[in-house]
């Protein structure tokens, strides 16, 4: 079904369309942002595997206001 999905001609056409839509100035910025996002995701996954992930804590019961008489 997906045989030959990413042939060289298809990739050239996709790159050409992206260049036309985004322009030559925005394309490098998009690539840089995508690369930083992938690096951040990989480092977050590496931190999770090592057990250094941040755990969120929440209170199960709401606080009740105290009144002084």
Mean pLDDT by 10 residues, the chain (69 residues): 74 89 88 93 82 53 63
Element (H or E) spanning 21, and its range?
A: helix 8-22
pTM for this entry? 0.46
**Does any domain span residue 56?**
no
Say how many domains are in the chain: 1
**Does any domain span residue 40?**
yes
**Per-residue model confidence (pLDDT) at position 53:** 47
**Per-residue model confidence (pLDDT) at position 28:** 87
**Does any domain span residue 67?**
no
**Does any domain span residue 66?**
no
**Does any domain span residue 23?**
yes
Query: Which CA distances in Å does 58 have to 51, 52, 53?
Result: 20, 19, 16
Q: Is 27 helix (H, G, I), strand (E, B) or coil?
A: helix
**Does any domain span residue 34?**
yes
**Does any domain span residue 59?**
no
**Does any domain span residue 14?**
yes
Q: Is 64 helix (H, G, I), strand (E, B) or coil?
A: coil
**Per-residue model confidence (pLDDT) at position 5:** 72
Domain that holds residue 25: 8-47
């Amino acid at each position: 079904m997906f045989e030959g999905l990413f042939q060289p001609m298809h990739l050239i056409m996709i790159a050409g369309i992206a260049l036309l839509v985004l322009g030559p100035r925005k394309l490098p910025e998009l690539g840089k942002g995508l690369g930083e996002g992938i690096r951040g995701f990989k480092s977050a996954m590496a931190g999770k595997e090592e057990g250094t992930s941040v755990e969120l804590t929440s209170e199960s019961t709401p606080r009740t206001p105290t009144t002084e008489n």
